[in-house]
Structure 1
């Protein structure tokens, strides 16, 4: 092993040990998880490549999800740092089901983002959903399905309070990508849903770029009406 890499790993191990010692939880299981998370965050920071960070998170998120699922199952507001961080990591790692589970919980109880994030949880969700929905998928990260993307939309659409709405531009960009994902299903029902997403996107932001998309899906709907029964 090259000396530089060995030194780096030793430094990370030392930082991890210190992080475990610094945890404040009295519950030993939770203390261990918090210590692991601190160490994993330090390891992430040692990686300059964002792609490698995201790939690493794909394998680190599952070890926290049993705990996070327990928090979610309580169905009460818990401002838990592990759960909040897993929203971010599941988005980065394209772990869609985990992201949806945590996003639904955090929106329901208006749980804030982890410290250091300057966007609301609602806007983080639409930002992340836009990125995930636009991703075509590859060997490392599967593409989101139209059903999953629409589940995320339902989470945001369930918000009634004006002060909890996501940023208009962020939401509009997600809606446009959602429209394209649903339109690709190529059925009359999917064309109609895509039309509604494009229209809502344009209501939020006329410059989102969905005008041509709306024209195209309207043509598809008109053409489908002409098909002999």
Structure 2
């Protein structure tokens, strides 16, 4: 659809669109009197046209693959924006922010988190139709998917979302949801633990189970209605069984000694 030359041009212009921002506030959009600003404005027209097309489709299941396809047109620009960000330059960018949101919808969480890191580092804001901060959106929406369809989100992706948003202000209920998702992911990791694996961590299954309890308990601290009581009871029983097994092993070893 787009020639290599055009993709390269968009990436280069995107790198020029940013400025060295005050990281405590949201930066302005690219200046409209620059070539980079004009390219941004042109791509934003395409973005809004895409949003209108999506609004005409009622099925979420049908919209998500459309977003994945539409996102390809913005990749060169976004690559340039991310490169500028690595050099300490940024501008408010509706294109990048919207693509972060879309990536969550079409389940490319690695890409969403890559864009989210830039968004949070430079305090970019979500479009006005969203009434949450970018950090809250990223953490809560990835957690929501993980709780509904845990096979779509890895523990590492959940931890990345937690790390990115750890210092951000958000409702306790949103952060509790993320801890709930992480706790359940650690419990599943414990259940599938293979002690013979090359990358098996120290402490093994018990360590993963303990981490599960830590995050579930934190979720409960933040929101007593988050729905983790049964999870905590189940994990507590598993921890107790492991402690009893260890105690029995120790007792057996002592009995073998003369």
Cα distance in structure 1, aligned partners of 2:217 and 2:80: 38
Find the counterpart in structure 2 of residue 212 from structure 1: 230
Give the paired residue count. Answer: 197
Cα offset for 1:60? 2.0
> Are 1:179 and 2:179 matched, yes or no?
no
Find the counterpart in structure 1 of residue 156 from structure 2: 147
Find the counterpart in structure 2 of residue 93 from structure 1: 106
Cα pair 1:135 1:144 within 8 Å, conserved: no
Cα offset for 1:173? 1.5
Correspondence 1:50-199 to 2 at 5 A: 50-75=60-85, 76-136=89-149, 143-157=152-166, 159=167, 164-186=168-190, 187-199=205-217
Cα distance in structure 1, aligned partners of 2:221 and 2:123: 25
Find the counterpart in structure 1 of residue 193 from structure 2: none
Q: TM-score, normalised by structure 2?
A: 0.69
- Relative CO higher for 1 or 2, CA cutoff 8 Å, sep ≥ 6? 2
Q: 4+ residue runs of structure 1 moved beyond 6 angstroms?
A: none
Find the counterpart in structure 2 of residue 222 from structure 1: 240
Cα distance in structure 2, aligned partners of 1:72 and 1:47: 31
Cα offset for 1:33? 2.4
> Structure 1: which 5+ runs fail to align?
1-23
Cα distance in structure 2, aligned partners of 1:80 and 1:165: 21
Cα offset for 1:122? 1.9
Cα distance in structure 2, aligned partners of 1:44 and 1:77: 28
User: What's the CA shift string for 1:169-216, capped at 9, x where partnerless?
Assistant: 111122112211221011222212211111111111111111221222
Cα distance in structure 1, aligned partners of 2:83 and 2:237: 45
Cα distance in structure 2, aligned partners of 1:195 and 1:65: 40
Q: Which has the larger radius of gyration?
A: 2
Q: TM-score, normalised by structure 1?
A: 0.77
Find the counterpart in structure 2 of residue 30 from structure 1: 40
Cα distance in structure 1, aligned partners of 2:171 and 2:82: 25
> Structure 2: which 5+ runs fail to align?
1-31, 191-204, 251-258
User: What's the CA shift string for 1:137-157, capped at 9, x where partnerless?
Assistant: 7xxxx7111111111111122
Pair 1:65–1:167, CA change in 2 (3 A): farther
Cα pair 2:143 2:158 within 8 Å, conserved: no
Cα distance in structure 2, aligned partners of 1:111 and 1:136: 28
Pair 1:110–1:31, CA change in 2 (3 A): closer
Cα distance in structure 1, aligned partners of 2:156 and 2:184: 13
C-alpha RMSD over aligned residues:
2.2
Cα distance in structure 1, aligned partners of 2:121 and 2:39: 27
Provide the secondary structure at the position in 2 that maps to 1:166. coil
